[in-house]
A and B are shown apart, each in its own frame.
Chain A
Amino acid sequence: MNVTVLAKFVPNPTGTPALGPDNLLIRDAGDGALDPGDEYGLELALQLVEAGGGEVTVVSMGPAEALAAVQRGLAMGAHRGVLVTDAALRGADVLVTARVLAAAVARTEHDLVIAGVESTDGYTGTMPATLAELLGVAAVTAVRKLEPDGDGFRAERQTESGYDVLTAPRPALITVTAGATDPRYPSLKGIMAAKSKPVETLSVADLGVADATPTQTVAGVTDAAAKAGGEIVTGEDAVVRIADLLADAKVI
C-alpha cells in the first residue's frame, strides 16, 4: 500500500506568531517546523507500509523553508518528498491550497492520503474535505484508528459524544487526530538517510493550476479589547479566595 502524507510547514508552534506589514502570517522567520499535528498521520502511514509494504510520499506546499517539513518526514522514514513552492502562492487561501495539493497528490502513487485534522497555525480544518472531493476519493475526517479492511479501510472517527466506525473504499483520504499514534523521533541514521532521498520541487505552472488568486484577503487587523489583568495570589488564602469567587458568582 502506498500512502501520501500532507505535511505543513508552520511557524514555530511554541513561539509567538506574528503578522508582517501585509497582514499575512510571517512564515519564513527561520524557526518554522513540520506541524506537530501532521506527525500523527505520518506515523500512521509509516506503520501501515511497515506492516503491508509500499512507500510513503510526503507532500508539502509552502515557502522554500518548507523543505524542512518534507525532510523531517523523510527522516522519520518516508521514502520520497514533493515540495510545491511558488511566489504566486504567498497568501493562498484554502481553495487555492486544495487545488494545488490536489494536482500535486494526483501525481503520487497512493492508496491512501493522510492529513492532520487541522493545522496548528490556521486551524481551518476544511481543506482535506475539499481536497478529497477534488480528487474524487472517499473522505473520513477526525480518524483516531485505521486498519486495512479487504479492498478498503475501516476507520474509527471521533465524534462529539464518542466515536463512529466507518468503511471506505480505496483510495481514500483521512484526517488523523492528535494522539492517534505515538510519533517516532527521527534517528541519526534516519536523518542521514533523508539527505539522499528524492525530493521533487514543483511550481504552480508545473502543476497546471490555472488560477491561484485567493478569494479571501485581510482588510484589516485590530487589537482585541485587552482583558484587565486579574489578581495573582499565592499561599494559604488561595483556597478561601477561590471559594469567595464561587460564592460571589452565586454558583455555591
Chain B
Amino acid sequence: MGATWVYAEVTPDGVHPSALELLTKARSLGGDVAAVALGPGATDAAGDLGAHGATIVYTSDDQTFADQPGRPAAHTLHSLIGQHMPSLILFPGTYEGRDVAGCLQALTGSTLMANATDVESAQRARAEIFGGTKIVEVDLAGPEPRLVLVRPKSFGAEPAGGTAEIVAVDAVTPPGPTATIVERHAEPASGPKLGEANVVIAGGRGLGGPEPFAMLADLAAAIGGAAVGASRAAVDAGWVPYAYQVGQTGKTVKPQVYIAAGISGALQHVVGMKGAKRIVAINKDADAPILKIADLGVVGDLFQIVPALTEEVRRRTSS
C-alpha cells in the first residue's frame, strides 16, 4: 500500500504520547511511514518520532498552529497531501485530533472513521461498540487518503531505533474566519497523572457530591502512586474538573488496579477503563453493570468501605 502518515499532535508539554503508539502501528502496515508535527516544539519532537518509525517528519514550529485550533493544521495537511498522496492518515482520538481530521475531511472529501481500536490497511479498520462487547470490521472507501481517528492506548509504543529526515513545511493560512485562542488556563492537578498512575480510584454519581472525593484522595495517598478519576456523571454535575474524567469522552486508562466507587458502569465509562489489569467495583446496587466486568465486585456502602480500606492499606504499608 501507499504511505501511512501519523498526525503527531504537539501539545504545550511536547508531542502527545499517542503519536508514538500510532507510529508503532503504522510501521507494521507495510509501506512508507511519515509523521506530520505542527506547532511550537514540533521540530524537537522529530527525534522521538523517527525512533518510533517515521522515516520523514514534516514539521513546522509556527505559533499559528497553537493559537488556532484545527483549521491551520488541516489546511497545511491538505497541501502536503496534494504533494505526496499518502493512502492513510492516523490521528489520535483527542479533541485536537477530531478538530483537525474533521476539518480535513471537508477539504478532501475522504472517509473519516472515528474511535478505531485497530487498523489493518487503508481499506479496513476495526472499532469496538457497545462498551467493547462487540467488534465491528469497517470497510473504508472513497478517495485517498483515508482518515482514521484511533482511541489512545490502542497500541503500545515501541521504538524501532530509526532516524527521520526532517522536512520543514510552511504553515498554510486558511481562507475565511477562524477562531483564535486568547487565553490559556491550566487547572491545578496534584498527584500522578491519571493516564500514568498504577492505581486509579474513580468516583461516580454514587458519591452524591464533591466532598466525598476527598475520601478517594485519602485512599489514593495511602496506596501511593494512585490517581483519582471520575465518571462523566460526576464531571457533568460539576463535582470535579473535566481533567478527572475517565471514559469515551475523557481519558483512557490502563492501570494495574482500577477501583470504581459508586459508578454504575455506563458504556461511556467502561470503554475508558476496561483495559485495566484488575477492576474492583464498589456499588450499593447489586445489579450495577460495572459488577459484571469487575474482577472483584463489592456490593455495599462505599462510605463505610472506602475509609475502612484506607485504614487497612495504611496498617499494611506501615508494618
Q: Could you tell me which A residues sit within 8 Å of B by CB distance?
A: 17, 19, 23, 93-95, 98, 117-118, 120, 122-134, 136-142, 144, 155, 157-169, 172, 177-179, 215-224, 226-227, 229-235, 238-243, 245-247, 249-252
* B149 within 8 Å of A (CB atoms): yes
Contact A243 B296 (CB under 8 A): no
In the complex the two chains form, what is the Cα distance from A170 to B179 in whole Å? Answer: 10
Contact among A19, A142, A166, A234 with B300 in the assembled complex (CB-CB below 8 Å): A234
With A130-B112, A168-B177, A223-B135 given, name 16 new contacts (CB 8 A).
A98-B106, A129-B98, A130-B103, A132-B103, A166-B69, A172-B179, A216-B113, A217-B139, A219-B137, A222-B134, A224-B134, A242-B282, A242-B298, A245-B280, A250-B256, A251-B225
Contact A246 B223 (CB under 8 A): yes
Contact among A129, A239, A246 with B308 in the assembled complex (CB-CB below 8 Å): A239
Chain B residue at minimal CB-CB distance from A237:
B298
**Shortest distance in angstroms between B116's beta carbon and chain A's nearest beta carbon?**
11
Contact B243 A161 (CB under 8 A): yes
Knowing A127-B102, A129-B70, A159-B95, the reply to whether A216 touches B133 (Cβ < 8 A) is no
Flag B211-251 by CB within 8 Å of A: 1 or 0 each.
Answer: 00000000000011110000010011110011100001101
Contact among B179, B241, B291, B309 with A140 in the assembled complex (CB-CB below 8 Å): B179
* B316 within 8 Å of A (CB atoms): yes
Chain B residue at minimal CB-CB distance from A37:
B249
Contact A251 B199 (CB under 8 A): yes
Contact A126 B101 (CB under 8 A): yes
Residues on A with C-beta less than 8 A from B99 are 129, 139, 141
In the complex the two chains form, what is the Cα distance from A94 to B105 in whole Å? Answer: 10
In the complex the two chains form, what is the Cα distance from A149 to B95 in whole Å? Answer: 24
Contact B181 A125 (CB under 8 A): no
**Shortest distance in angstroms between B4's beta carbon and chain A's nearest beta carbon?**
18
* B82 within 8 Å of A (CB atoms): no
Contact A126 B292 (CB under 8 A): no
Instruction: List, sorted by A's number, 20 A–B pairs whose CB atoms are closer than 8 Å.
Output: A94-B114, A95-B112, A98-B106, A123-B114, A126-B114, A129-B98, A157-B181, A160-B11, A161-B187, A162-B184, A165-B184, A166-B182, A216-B113, A221-B135, A223-B135, A224-B128, A234-B298, A239-B308, A245-B280, A246-B199
**Shortest distance in angstroms between A231's beta carbon and chain B's nearest beta carbon?**
6
Contact B295 A169 (CB under 8 A): no
Chain B residue at minimal CB-CB distance from A123:
B248
Residues on A with C-beta less than 8 A from B20 are none
* B140 within 8 Å of A (CB atoms): yes
Contact A133 B295 (CB under 8 A): no
Contact among A120, A138, A164, A232 with B297 in the assembled complex (CB-CB below 8 Å): A232
Flag B112-126 by CB within 8 Å of A: 1 or 0 each.
Answer: 111100000000100
Residues on A with C-beta less than 8 A from B299 are 232-234
Contact B238 A130 (CB under 8 A): no
Residues on A with C-beta less than 8 A from B115 are 123-124
Chain B residue at minimal CB-CB distance from A121:
B129
In the complex the two chains form, what is the Cα distance from A229 to B297 in whole Å? Answer: 10
In the complex the two chains form, what is the Cα distance from A215 to B282 in whole Å? Answer: 43
* B138 within 8 Å of A (CB atoms): yes
Knowing A162-B185, A167-B182, A249-B257, the reply to whether A179 touches B142 (Cβ < 8 A) is no
* B313 within 8 Å of A (CB atoms): yes
Contact B139 A221 (CB under 8 A): no
Knowing A136-B176, A167-B182, the reply to whether A141 touches B69 (Cβ < 8 A) is yes
Contact B133 A223 (CB under 8 A): yes
Contact B113 A249 (CB under 8 A): no
Contact B292 A229 (CB under 8 A): yes
Residues on A with C-beta less than 8 A from B256 are 249-251
Knowing A117-B249, A243-B312, the reply to whether A134 touches B199 (Cβ < 8 A) is no
Residues on B with C-beta less than 8 A from A215 are 110-111, 140-142
**Shortest distance in angstroms between A13's beta carbon and chain B's nearest beta carbon?**
9
* B259 within 8 Å of A (CB atoms): yes
**Shortest distance in angstroms between A43's beta carbon and chain B's nearest beta carbon?**
13
In the complex the two chains form, what is the Cα distance from A155 to B300 in whole Å? Answer: 42
In the complex the two chains form, what is the Cα distance from A159 to B137 in whole Å? Answer: 31
Residues on B with C-beta less than 8 A from A232 are 286, 291, 294, 297-299
Knowing A239-B308, A245-B257, A251-B223, the reply to whether A230 touches B107 (Cβ < 8 A) is no
* B54 within 8 Å of A (CB atoms): no
Chain A residue at minimal CB-CB distance from B176:
A136
* B168 within 8 Å of A (CB atoms): no
Contact A94 B293 (CB under 8 A): no
Chain B residue at minimal CB-CB distance from A25:
B129
* B303 within 8 Å of A (CB atoms): no
* B317 within 8 Å of A (CB atoms): yes
**Shortest distance in angstroms between B299's beta carbon and chain A's nearest beta carbon?**
5
